[in-house]
Chain A
Amino acid sequence: MCGTGQLEETLKTPCGTGERANRAMVVERRTTRIVSRLPLHLTAAALVAAVGLAFVATYSRSGTEPERDSIPLGFLLSSNPPGLPVVARPPASQPLVGLATDSYLDITPVRRTMGLDLVKMGWTYNCMECHALLVARWHYDRPMVEHENIEFDHGNNRFCLNCHHPANRNAFVDYDGSEIAQSDVVLLCAKCHGPIHRDWEAGVHGRGNGYWDEKLGPKTRLRCIQCHDPHRPRFPALKPEPPLRYPARAANPPAVLHPHVSRSESHD
């Protein structure tokens, strides 16, 4: 599983490979979003942490990047009280995949994951922080009042505990009830998607970046959940790049040339 190491490295590194000039701003916006979802007594602490993080993010790399004109902390001074963003939750970011030298190409994965943002901000992915107190409940027919942002559309796979381990929320569950580590999520998906897993192992399913010749450089291959939302795995529809322009002359052909061929006929 060549993709695993790459992801873990990304998780550990607070600054992803493809950080842009506005990363401090992004950190703050993320912070604002998170803050709004936490109890009040955590808000203050998180805010302090966010400001600190923003300063670190802005100045720690000043040796390698051009100096910025001002500190982008305008949101603190604006009319919005901290913790109450006016805009809808901004899209989460994904680290770039592939080589840093290819950043002139659009190599950002399309899936927007919130988890990576949380981890980058210093949070753990330790679900048991809460779920040690909240035991698994088997009421599938009730509307879900927690994890409201999850839109669930995974075909026949409709039950939380088909994938999540009932006792250990940091792990996934195998057919025999044993645990599958979070980092082995590929094996979880392989429970049902065998042929695709086989292709993925061969490097034929999923996005590849970097070097085709592994003797010359690293190849990155994304894992299932870096492209697919596990709760809603269909690949999202995208806005296409604008089409090739229909040549102006062809769009308005002189009527005398081919009066018997109408335009709709000619390119049907």
Chain B
Amino acid sequence: MTDSSENHASQETASRADASVDRRVFLKKTAAVAAGAAGLVAALSPLAKLERGEITLDALLQKHYRKLTPSELRHILKDLEVQCHKEHGVRPEIRDPRPMDGVEFGYALNLTRCIGCRRCARACLAENNQSRDDADDLELSYIRVLELDKGAINLETSDLYYDAELVPRQGKYYMPVQCQQCREPPCTKVCPVQATWTEPDGVVVVDYNWCIGCRYCMAACPYDARRFNYVRPKVPAEAINRNQSYLSNRLRRKGVVEKCTFCLHRTRVGKYPACVEVCPTGARLFGNMLDPNSEIGYVLRNKRVYVLKEEVGTLPRFYYFFDA
């Protein structure tokens, strides 16, 4: 009795199921074919770009930056120069300065001296060839200057968009924030393709040729230090800084992440970063932390420095201090 009723029910179900399975299988197969075709097209799109001359064979077959031989790197730098000339009308000189022996960069910022004039954020654009709609567009500048009430320590109370006639304003202090070049950088740990890493001199860099644009690093960074090229970078040809390097300020492509590199194309040949150069008050200090006679060494020994968001354990190489 129970058996027959079960059989009866199962037959009905089976016939209904048979009909729907046909439709389902058909839909599944169609979807699979469509996905496969789309995937194939996507997978072959670099070849199409290659065909159109948008990328070179070397760039397509490029190995990871840290596995490149010097001659391969030379070829890539040359190709990048040509490509920049083609796309932006300016022929840059792209180098690849290496970290100096016995040098670990450190940065200190004197919050007593900072007046919030944003010269640093502006200079960052001029130096690092960030995309911008016009000269006043600080969107991709690596520096954000925060305005806080004197005595306030909570950055959630800060104002990023202050628009004053003159600075400093009464009762306010200013805190520029940029990449802290952490010793324990969360951003490099989350990168699925190892397109970002820490160099021996302490600079966290991004290989724009290797970045897949997933923006995990931006989510991981506690300092909002990374920027993303949502659109094809727009830099006026006359504003392009021709002194470029592979890991820092060469022109980026759409869909890659970029960040402050302490201007390594300057600092690795001994110069100050651009933000230090322009700071009118001398609030910004930069140097080799391993050299006890350096300015940064003096600050670390004699000033009461602190780091931003110490509790997240990133161990920044960027120090803030108050003076006087």
Contacts and interface: CB of A to CB of B under 8 A. Distances in A.
A128 B241 CA distance: 49
The main secondary structure of chain A at its interface with chain B is: loop
A243 B163 contact: yes
Nearest to B156: A268
Given A106-B119, A239-B166, A244 B278 contact: no
Interface residues of A, number: 42
A140 interface: no
B133 to A, nearest CB: 9
Contacts of B235: none
B116 A206 contact: no
Interface string B274-303: 101111111001111000001100110011
B161 A98 contact: no
B272 A211 contact: yes
A56 interface: no
Interface string A181-213: 000000000000001100100111111111111
A215 B118 contact: no
A238 B280 CA distance: 10
A40 B224 CA distance: 63
Interface in A99-139: 99, 102, 104-107, 109-110
Interface in A51-98: 98
Contacts of A98: 272, 277
B126 A204 contact: no
A175 interface: no
B324 interface: yes
A235 B277 contact: no
Interface stretch (B62-70, B87-95, B137-145): B137-145
Interface centre among B138, B166, B282 (most CB of A within 10 A): B282
Contacts of B166: 237-240
Nearest to A106: B278
Nearest to B299: A204
Contact of B127 (A105, A267, A268): A105
B117 interface: yes
Nearest to A219: B272
Given A105-B126, A208-B285, A211-B270, A242 B163 contact: yes
A208 B107 CA distance: 13
A10 to B, nearest CB: 18
Given A98-B277, A110-B280, A243 B161 contact: yes
Contacts of B277: 98, 102, 105, 107, 209
B122 interface: yes
A206 B116 CA distance: 16
Contact of A212 (B162, B270, B298): B270
A237 B174 CA distance: 13
Interface in B236-285: 241, 267, 269-272, 274, 276-282, 285
A216 interface: yes
Interface centre among A98, A205, A215 (most CB of B within 10 A): A205
B272 A204 contact: no
Nearest to A222: B282
Contact of A237 (B115, B123, B270): B115
A242 B136 CA distance: 6
Contacts of A104: 126, 241
A218 B286 CA distance: 15
Contacts of B7: none
Contacts of A213: 100, 270, 288
B65 to A, nearest CB: 25
Contact of B118 (A196, A211, A243): A243
A233 B112 CA distance: 15
A266 to B, nearest CB: 11
Contacts of B274: 102, 105
A210 B271 contact: yes
Contacts of A216: 269-271
A212 B126 contact: no
A241 interface: yes
A106 B160 CA distance: 22
B272 A209 contact: yes
A129 to B, nearest CB: 33
B165 interface: yes
Contacts of A246: 161
A212 B274 CA distance: 12
A105 B282 contact: no
A69 to B, nearest CB: 21
A237 B167 contact: yes
B139 A244 contact: yes
Contact of A211 (B136, B271, B323): B271
Given A235-B281, A241-B122, A241-B138, A203 B271 contact: no
B168 interface: yes
Given A240-B118, A245-B139, 4 more contacts: A98-B277, A104-B126, A110-B280, A244-B144
Interface of A: 98-99, 102, 104-107, 109-110, 195-196, 199, 202-213, 215-217, 222, 227, 235, 237-246, 267-268
26 contacts: A102-B274, A102-B277, A105-B126, A106-B278, A109-B280, A195-B324, A202-B298, A203-B298, A207-B279, A208-B285, A212-B271, A212-B272, A213-B288, A217-B270, A217-B271, A222-B282, A227-B281, A237-B168, A240-B117, A241-B138, A243-B161, A244-B121, A244-B144, A244-B161, A267-B159, A267-B161
